[in-house]
Structure formats: C-alpha cells, structure tokens
C-alpha cells in the first residue's frame, strides 16, 4: 500500500469520525491458533499471521532436512525458503507498524 493511499484512507476516516457518522465497536480479536478466521480485518490479519508462521516452519524443516543430509533438499531450496519466510515476516511487521500508527493517530484525534 502506498503512502498516498494510506494518507487518503486516514483523511477519509478523520472526516467520517468528525461528522460522527460512525460509532466504533469494541475491539474483539480472535485468539490466533484456536479459531479459524471469520472474515473482516481481524480474520485477514489472523490468516496472514498463520501463513507467515507456516512459511517459517516450512523453511525450518527444509533447513533441518538439508543439515541432516537429505539429498532431496538442495542448499538453494533451503536458502530460498528461508528468505521467503524472512521477507514475509518483515512484511507482516511493517503492516503491524502501520496499523499501530494509524490506531495511535485515531486515538489522538479530538472528539
């Protein structure tokens, strides 16, 4: 998501909140790992965390198999899986940072 679209969304959220057209419901996030995503933002977030987790587990298993001498796993496969897992984790962290920043900005808004 580009900075321009983030700024656009934030300005739309500010205008909607300023007009008083919406009441914010209490935040009720599912416990990740115990429930399946039900849709909406929290479901998308839970699904993303699960995908990153499975990518990291898969990369770890490939690396372990390579270190144990499994000839069906090449060094390149293990390294590529590790890099994919690292990139997906860093992407998830950046998304989390943006969501936290947006939440903090909303909380600083005068009512």
- Of the pLDDT bands very low, low, confident and very high (cuts 50, 70, 90), residue 30 is very low
What is the domain extent for residue 78?
A: 3-108
**Does the pTM of the predicted model rise above 0.85?**
no
In whole angstroms, what is the distance from residue 57 CA to residue 81 CA? 10
Note the pLDDT tens digit of each residue in 37-75: 567 878 888 888 999 999 999 999 999 999 999 889 899
Residue 36 has pLDDT above 60, yes or no: no
Under 8 Å CB-to-CB from 91, ≥6 apart: which residues?
Answer: none
Domains held by the chain: number: 1
In whole angstroms, what is the distance from residue 66 CA to residue 59 CA? 11
- Of the pLDDT bands very low, low, confident and very high (cuts 50, 70, 90), residue 93 is very high
């Amino acid at each position: 998501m580009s900075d321009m679209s983030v700024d656009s969304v934030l300005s739309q959220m500010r205008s909607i909140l300023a007009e008083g057209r919406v009441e914010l419901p209490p935040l009720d996030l599912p416990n990740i790992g115990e429930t399946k995503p039900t849709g909406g933002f929290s479901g998308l977030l839970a699904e993303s965390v699960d995908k990153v987790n499975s990518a990291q587990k898969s990369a770890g298993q490939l690396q372990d198999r390579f270190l144990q001498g499994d000839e069906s796993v090449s060094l390149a496969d293990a390294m590529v899986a590790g890099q994919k897992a690292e990139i997906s984790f860093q992407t998830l962290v950046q998304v989390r940072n943006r969501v936290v920043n947006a939440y903090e900005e909303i909380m600083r808004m005068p009512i």
